[in-house]
Amino acid sequence: MSGRLVLLTGGARSGKSRHAEALASSLGERVLYVATAGVGDREMRRRVEEHRRRRPPSWETLEARRDVASRLAGLGEPPPVVLLDCLSLLVSNALLDEAARCGEGPELEGAASRAVEEELSGLLGWHEAAGGHLIVVSNEVGWGVVPPYRLGRIYRDLLGGANQRLAARADRVVLMVAGLPLEVKRP
């Protein structure tokens, strides 16, 4: 794989994580898997366990629902390959944390936008300083029905903007469709 920053995007259950894991494996044995999911119910616990079983035993895992860059910086020597799965949940975590902090009033959109911007700026800044490969998995949420509620629309807009920002900086962008990778951007 050429390029240092890869964005893998696509619909839910399109094969993004499996493809990202294969890319990371092709770059060597030392991989840090950054998991942004929180385990809140049985179904999510099952999904997390499924992901864990698929990963090689040599991979390290960092669970970070927020503040990914500071958590990565705290590890010391940066790993040569970092796989962040997934940006969709990182954005969701930021939005929900801001909603819990300030409510769903008019200030939510700005506060959540700033929180997502901090996450992205931190991650991209960390990657630029650390070097190595960064593979980011994210969902495409703009192809579906417009959410009927405000929080869903804010989320869709925040994630769409985050995906665009990462795609602009990425060396490669891969769109996953029915388990098939489509190169959208190549170095």
Is beta strand 60-63 parallel, antiparallel or unpaired with respect to 5-10?
unpaired
Q: Which two tokens stand for residue 50?
A: 């499924």
Query: Could you list the active site residues?
Result: 51
Cis before residue 86, ω within 30 degrees of 0?
A: yes
Q: What is the residue-level pLDDT of the chain in tens, covering all 187 positions?
A: 445 999 999 998 899 999 999 999 999 889 999 999 877 788 878 887 887 888 888 999 999 999 999 999 999 888 999 999 999 999 999 999 999 999 999 999 999 999 999 999 999 999 999 999 999 999 999 888 889 999 999 999 999 999 999 999 999 999 999 999 999 999 8
State residue 3's pLDDT score: 55
> Which residue positions form the known binding site for GTP?
10-17, 35-37, 52-55, 63, 85
State residue 2's pLDDT score: 41
**Other beta carbons within 10 Å of 134:** 28
For helices 16-26 and 42-54, angle between their N-to-C axes, nearest 10 degrees: 30
The Cα–Cα gap between 187 and 185 comes to 7
The Cα–Cα gap between 174 and 167 comes to 9
Q: What is this structure's pTM? A: 0.93
Nearest residue to 73 via CA among 34, 30, 29: 34
Q: What superfamily does domain 5-185 belong to in CATH?
A: P-loop containing nucleotide triphosphate hydrolases (3.40.50.300)
> Which residue positions form the known binding site?
10-17, 35-37, 52-55, 63, 85
49: Cα within 13 Å, side-chain hemisphere: 6
